[in-house]
Amino acid sequence: MDRPRLFCDSCGMRMEESGDHGGGKQDNPYCKNCCDETGVLKPKSVIRETLIKFYIEKYDYPKTAAENFVDDFMATMPAWQNKQEKL
Ligand SMILES: [Zn+2]
């Protein structure tokens, strides 16, 4: 059996428990925040908005700074690295 992944391939969140994985599936490389309730990864635009909101609320980033940060960050994540999905 493969070891469960520890970090979400989409947003980088640490997944401590099986319930933190999308759809509650331990082999899901994405966290529950990035997936719908069945464990399917949400569209990039949805996750981008969620992350931007998170950095604005949690770290008090100005909106444009949060947007730039999230765009750079997501470009390094396995889920989005090679995707050309339009926003
Ligand atoms: Zn995630």
Please report the pLDDT score of residue 81 as a whole number: 87
- Which pairs with CB-CB distance under 8 Å and at least 24 residues apart come from 68-76? 73/12, 74/10, 74/44, 74/47, 74/48
pLDDT in tens, 36-68: 999 999 999 999 999 999 999 999 999 999 999
- The answer for 75, left when phi > 0, alpha when psi is -120 to 50, beta otherwise, is alpha
**Encoded amino acid at 54, one letter:** F
- 5-35 burial, b for 16+ CB within 10 Å, e for fewer? eeebbbbbbebeeeebbbeeebebbbbbbbb
C-alpha 82 to ligand 1 mean position (Å): 17
Phi, psi of 7 (to 5 degrees): -125, 140
Stated pTM of the model: 0.82
pLDDT in tens, 9-46: 999 999 999 899 999 999 999 999 999 999 999 999 99
Around ion ligand 1, residues with a beta carbon closer than 5 Å are 8, 10-11, 13, 31, 33-34
The answer to whether the beta carbons of residues 14 and 84 sit under 8 Å apart is: no
CA 74 to chain CA centroid, Å, is: 8
C-alpha 33 to ligand 1 mean position (Å): 5
